Structure 1
């Protein structure tokens, strides 16, 4: 290792630091995406390689990872992989080409659609337009605000077929990690399906529940990922040392900093914040969630390890209705599988099939509010990319997953309606 570090110091240029002021778009020119697999050693490889690249971008699970490598670090990375006896495959030769393709799709599109990724303003305009178009069953809702002053804007869908105060509440949050673009896109797609579908099963699902849906709960980070750094994950708050952002899915007040998080404000991915709810986004959103009466279901959408996760993420011990959650989750995945024949891992806790992590929104909702149905869906993709032209593919999949979830939850009595007089 000492020799490798010496070689790196000799050949490296001054590398990009997240603590520096970013004035130009980070292109990721010639960055290479590798897939590394092993029954053991992937986690240690990432930890070791972060000594050379403190802004390392990676995703994966216990046995494999997609790792984005700077061009001047490729030889060192390959040597580390070889030394550990891991299997490696080059997936993308130049990641900037993928980013350029995403931007070209945006430029070709005029108006809101599900063949391009839209910015926060476009998403908010879409929500406003839908609230105007369907005034009898929708209303704009504000789930909080961001560090830079943006609203966490959502849409409530509550058709008048049942008494509004008697319906079970179904809460959806999406986009908590900025670079996971497919999550907000599929969430708006699902909103559109709830409001426009002629499928009687989808209509019945819409009418039965009081939906509170937020496509982008980290709007500052999402916008920054579009304008400056496609791989940005965190919020945009400023720490005392000048570094930016905290991981908003490590910042909730449940077993904060217990596992899977960093105390370093300059950590590119998993800094948990200076304290629980230090981020205004998580603090204000949690306050909104607390106000919801009869909250029966919570779903968070992430990407891109293709899994269905259950609480608690930092434990392999099972909660009291774990078996019910598994049964409902399997039905949800079965419904989704029929769309594209894509198999998801799980349902299980993150500690069992992904990695141990604490301080997440899902676990806080379950622990603090005792919400009975709580899930995190990790959607598909490769290193946070999903072709914009194929957004409907996952949109249809997610819609059916939600239909499967609601159908099986109904079968098991979780959505028994309490009608207020």
Structure 2
């Protein structure tokens, strides 16, 4: 889609802390009624590179997860937001000129849908968004209805306001938590306003138990599925129960994102009141998905207490995230999906570009592609959106080895009409991108199957006497990112401790125990490959004869070669022209199938675009005369190449510490176990010291 550059629009006049006022201790003005031409908007900020999108995210605005190769969507809440964006040098298009009007229309659509449809295509038949009480009641009811298949779960820690965080465990013989099965964890509502994320998580529980799908028997036998529909219970309940104001103002609690923590950095005048009624409105709290200790404090999370992406006062400081961390640390979660809205994305680690691809990138990417083949979302690494730090799957993957993904559900809105954002997206119905492909329902089934795929985790086998318990344990000190400071610069990383432990009940015979690899991916190294040949030599890009009119385009073709002659880890397209930045050419690169693989559409001269691991073949370059192109200011171009980055392999191997204990607590045997992904290790009888 061609982006039209526009000047900064006029947006809502509410004086929000997001404009930087709270950081100085200034008072937050009460929200004012919007004038006809002064509305909350969603704008698409022009940012074609990952670095540019990360720079937009670093501005402290309400950046959504909706991003593509042309830019990223941002919610502008006030004039100060627009001014900050303008001063940063960014340009944008207005995608939604009146977000409040859209929300009012969504509520009307939800009311009409619920009134006209007795039962939806969802496995539960729901026709409207649930409340927190609905989730808790339905999980209780499922446990009562299926006592051998469903075990109620209350996470280890309560929320900031003391609420339990509840879930259910689904498998045959659910009460035996030490059965050695791999675990698929599906979660929702880390962010309070993202209601579909909780709905999708809950619906998969109904699918496993009541849909009659032929795969259910195998999944119930072979994998333990844990469903935690609402992680941010405080924030979600406030968002869901709030009286809609429809103005996205400071006190429109329906759009609350964060939890209910009060930071030590919150100025005194904003500390009084409840989470649902306080002088700072919805801005108090921590973004739970920026608070996990892995890479905490790095790019893509804010140090300002009022920011929507505030990282928290310390790594892992929030009880809700700590409860999820305890859950993962005490189970062999071989696959997890954390659901969010919105952007039609399947995201995988790494979340920071500086980390480099993971050592499991090939298998990881293939698994994401499998999911995306059913929901038709883009399958990209998280840093491809923009840099973030402190997310759950980044901590979980690098520290436990279990594969973790974020699903960004839907194309528009944090909680769009139920029929679109929940029914269609889950079931794979129009207008969802996955219509006819199975939707998220099918993607979740594939994730559950992947959780028990032995090629994707590790296996310990052997024999254990009855009335014994086998335990594997690992403890280590991890380090956060260098901690970004409010005034710029960083301070040293902060250490944090993780203890991973899980158990298996000995039954007096052979066992097969699904575990994650003994060596953490953080220790293994970084994905890469040794070059198998030289990079392709640089070459000029042919400029076709003539000059297109302003606003029009011309096209030229290039060829990228491959093995056995050249091994290209990166291709860089560089374009320049006389006239400096007073003239503006934009460039888009397409593969042989017509897919855009790179773009260079900023206001810069030269323009540069890059693509990693380019597939050999023909490519077409579109040169758009955005402004001022003429025979005297025509462009020239060069295509250059770089070799792939070699893999970083540490050669370090970590072990699981395996212990066998009798039912009376006596240690019968211990040993160290090294087991890699896809590997099975037979330990014999670990309860017999002599064997």
TM-score bucket of the superposed structures, by smaller chain: 0.7 to 0.9
Q: Does 2:424 match 1:393?
A: yes
Q: Does 2:210 match 1:196?
A: yes
For residue 291 of structure 1, report the CA deviation from its aligned partner.
Answer: 1.6
Query: Structure 2 length normalisation: TM-score?
Result: 0.51
Q: Which residue of 2 aligns with 1:178?
A: 192
Alignment of structure 1 residues 204-283 onto 2, 5 Å: 204-226=218-240, 227=242, 228-240=252-264, 241=266, 242=271, 244-267=284-307, 269-283=308-322
Q: Which residue of 1 aligns with 2:143?
A: 131
Q: Does 2:378 match 1:345?
A: yes
Distance 2:460 2:58 in 1: 51
Q: Which residue of 2 aligns with 1:93?
A: 98
Q: 1:13 to 1:87 in 2, by over 3 A?
A: closer
Q: Deviations over 1:32-82 (max 9, x none)?
A: 33334452556656666x6xxx6x4644326323333347679x5699399
Q: Which residue of 2 aligns with 1:359?
A: 390
Q: 1:375 to 1:384 in 2, by over 3 A?
A: same
Higher helix share: 1
Q: 8 Å contact 1:310–1:376 — kept in the other structure?
A: yes
**3-state SS in 2 of match to 1:230:** helix
Query: Structure 1 length normalisation: TM-score?
Result: 0.81
Distance 1:313 1:197 in 2: 35
Q: Which residue of 2 aligns with 1:65?
A: 72
Q: 1:263 to 1:408 in 2, by over 3 A?
A: closer
For residue 281 of structure 1, report the CA deviation from its aligned partner.
Answer: 0.8
Q: Deviations over 1:79-112 (max 9, x none)?
A: 939974x451433534244246337736957998
- Show structure 1 runs of 5+ residues with no match: 338-342
Structure with the greater alpha carbon radius of gyration: 2
Distance 2:352 2:47 in 1: 22
Q: Does 2:105 match 1:105?
A: no
Q: 8 Å contact 1:114–1:388 — kept in the other structure?
A: no
Q: 1:418 to 1:412 in 2, by over 3 A?
A: closer
Q: Tell me whether 212-221 or 227-236 shows the greater mean CA deviation.
A: 227-236
Q: Which residue of 2 aligns with 1:32?
A: 41
Match among 158, 167, 182 for residue 154 of structure 1: 167
For residue 15 of structure 1, report the CA deviation from its aligned partner.
Answer: 2.1
Q: 1:272 to 1:82 in 2, by over 3 A?
A: closer
Distance 1:27 1:403 in 2: 45
Q: 8 Å contact 2:291–2:321 — kept in the other structure?
A: yes
**3-state SS in 1 of match to 2:296:** coil
Question: Matched residue pairs, number?
Answer: 397
Distance 1:34 1:381 in 2: 14
- Show structure 2 runs of 5+ residues with no match: 1-6, 243-251, 272-279, 428-438, 462-505, 508-691
Q: Which residue of 2 aligns with 1:340?
A: none
Q: 1:32 to 1:289 in 2, by over 3 A?
A: same
For residue 282 of structure 1, report the CA deviation from its aligned partner.
Answer: 1.1
For residue 205 of structure 1, report the CA deviation from its aligned partner.
Answer: 2.5
Distance 1:38 1:368 in 2: 32
**3-state SS in 2 of match to 1:301:** strand
Q: 1:22 to 1:70 in 2, by over 3 A?
A: closer
Q: 8 Å contact 2:63–2:72 — kept in the other structure?
A: no
Higher strand share: 2
Q: 1:217 to 1:355 in 2, by over 3 A?
A: same
Pick 1 or 2: higher relative contact order, CA cutoff 8 A, min separation 6: 1
Distance 1:369 1:408 in 2: 16
For residue 140 of structure 1, report the CA deviation from its aligned partner.
Answer: 1.0
Q: 8 Å contact 1:311–1:374 — kept in the other structure?
A: yes
